[in-house]
Amino acid sequence: MILAALDAQTVADAVGLGAVYALMAVGIGLVFGVLRLVNFAYGQLVMAGAYTLAFTAHWRVAWSILACFVVVVALSLAMDRAVFRPLRSSSPAVMLVATFAIAFMLQAVALLVDIRDNTIGEIATSIAPLNQPTTVGGVDIRKITIVAVAVTAVALGLLALLLLRTTMGLHMRAAAADFRTARLLGVRANRVIAFAVLLSGLLAAIVSVMLTVQFPFVGPDFALRDTIVVLVGVVVGGIDRLWTATLGGFAIGFATGVINGALPTEQTVFLPSAVFALVILVLLLRPDGLFTWGRRAGERV
């Protein structure tokens, strides 16, 4: 039934969504690698970027996107300086709850800024034309899908080059493998973490541009749902390694896209239950991640 309703356009949209989610997964995974911190507030970075795009909608597009990048990266670095750094030696639970707090705080700030005109929500229109379809090989594909896939491929490629070919990349990989030993061997903790946070901020800015094209209506809970879904995908895929986390993010984005596109609305009301039940099953069978091989499952003592 699902397969019958699948057409090329749905698949293309699903790939586009998967690409965006993969970028979010990388952004979350990079910070987790060096800080062991699950950043629940990642979606609020995307939200801040989307608001920037909405408020600068009357600017020229290039300036508007530049503003979005500046705001998101600045916010990301500020978050690191004000919250992550003092909490660096705390337990993962405390750090996660702290990012919870930041997430809700930023959402409340956004509401306060947004509600000045007495309506909730702003519309970002300047880059919406990318949402128009174009025909590729007889199939209508929205331009943003092509852009999303291309941008993701380029971003991931550059990131791989950076991690594998530069000194900073080497330091980051060392820090992710064993932070304490890496520090002993001369890796500068603050620089590596700040750099990871910077990269994750850049990725969040890219994500906010691409999400805003598809969903131009920006509210305080913009990207909140997406962050939760991506977090689930990241853990299901395997958060300990960047590429498994990325694959997990892509997979859950693709699956969401396909299912939402293929099933009529009245049949999808219990879909979240099915998806999350599946998530529980995967976690029970492979607690270290679906794509993680060759490591013993279960508790590491």
Q: Which residues bind other proteins (CB under 8 A)?
A: 38, 83, 86-87, 90-94, 96-98, 100-109, 111-112, 115, 228, 231-232, 235-236, 239, 269-270, 272-273, 276-277, 279-280, 283-284, 287-288, 298-299, 301
Closest CB 197 distance from other proteins, rounded Å = 17
C-beta closer to other proteins: residue 184 or 269: 269
Closest CB 240 distance from other proteins, rounded Å = 9
Closest CB 234 distance from other proteins, rounded Å = 9
Output DSSP code: residue 265: G
C-beta closer to other proteins: residue 63 or 100: 100
Instruction: Name the packing angle between helices 61-79 and 189-214 (round to 10°).
Output: 140
| Residues 6+ positions from 57 with CB-CB distance below 8 Å | 64, 123, 124, 125, 126
SS3 state of residue 217: strand
SS3 state of residue 166: coil
C-beta closer to other proteins: residue 161 or 277: 277
C-beta closer to other proteins: residue 294 or 299: 299
**H or E stretch including 142?**
strand 139-142
Closest CB 206 distance from other proteins, rounded Å = 25
C-beta closer to other proteins: residue 95 or 187: 95
Closest CB 92 distance from other proteins, rounded Å = 7
Closest CB 90 distance from other proteins, rounded Å = 5
C-beta closer to other proteins: residue 41 or 202: 41
DSSP per-residue letters across 82-141: IIITTTTTS-HHHHHHHHHHHHHHHHHHHHHHHGGGSSS-EE--TTGGGGSEEEETTEEE
Nearest to 41 by CA among 54, 64, 24: 24
Rounded distance, CA 292 to CA 44, Å?
29
